[in-house]
Amino acid sequence: MQELLYVESGRGTLRVGDTEHALEPDTGAYVAAGEEYELENHGPAELVVIVVEAPQENGAQIDPSRRTVRHADQPVLEAGVDREFRYLVNQDVGCLDVTQFVGVIPPGRAPMHSHSYDEIVYIIDGEGILHIGGQERAIRPGSAMHLPPLVEHCLENTGPEPMRVLGVFHPSGDPASRATESE
C-alpha cells in the first residue's frame, strides 16, 4: 500500500531512508509502497497527520525533491462555479494511482453530482451538510466520508466562511471532473 499524508497541524520531519523532509500545516507528502518512514514531532504542539492508504497498481516515479508539497506553493485551479482546489500529491510527485488535493467550497450548495473515482473527503475547516443517497448528514472539522464512484452527492457549506476539504481519490484524475451533474 502507498500512503498519502496531510499535515493538519504542528511541525515536524518526515524521514524516508536517509532523507528528511520538513512538515508544516497544509503540506501533503507521498510514501510509495514498500518504503519505510518515520515522523518526528518538533513540538511543543501535537503533530496531526491525516494518512490515507491506497493500493499501488502502476508503480511509482518518485522525485525525492518533491516528496512533500506545500499547499501555498501550488497554483489555484477551478473546480466549478466559485469552487477551487490545489493539488498536493499526484503524478507530479510520482504517485501514479491516487490524487490528493485541498478544495475550497464557498457558502451555499452546488448541484448534486458524481465522479468516476472513489473519493475520501476530510473536512479541514467549516461546517455543512453532506447530501448523499437521499440523506443529509452534518459535517464539521474532523468529519471524514467515503464517496463511492457514480454515487450522486453534494457538500453544502452552511457556514459564513469558505469550507476547506482534503480530498483523496483513486484512480488518479481531476477533482473538477464530473461523471454526472443534476440540478
Reported pTM: 0.89
Q: How many domains does the chain have?
A: 2
My answer on whether 63 and 115 are in the same domain is no
Of residues 153 and 171, more confidently modeled:
153
Write out the residue range of the structural domain in which residue 170 sits. Answer: 72-182
CATH number for 88: 2.60.120.10
Banded pLDDT at 179 (limits 50, 70, 90): very low
Nine cell digits for residue 116? 468516476
My answer on whether 112 and 177 are in the same domain is yes
Q: Among positive and negative, which fits the CA dihedral 86, 12, 168, 30?
A: positive
Q: How does pLDDT run across 103-159, given as a tens digit for each residue?
A: 999 999 888 888 888 899 999 999 999 999 899 999 999 999 999 988 999 999 999
Average pLDDT over residues 57-82: 85
Q: How far apart are CA 138 and CA 151, in angstroms?
A: 18
CB 115, CB 169: distance < 8 Å? yes
My answer on whether 160 and 140 are in the same domain is yes
My answer on whether 124 and 92 are in the same domain is yes
My answer on whether 45 and 123 are in the same domain is no
Asked if the model's pLDDT at residue 174 lies above 70, the reply is no
My answer on whether 17 and 38 are in the same domain is yes
My answer on whether 45 and 121 are in the same domain is no
My answer on whether 131 and 152 are in the same domain is yes
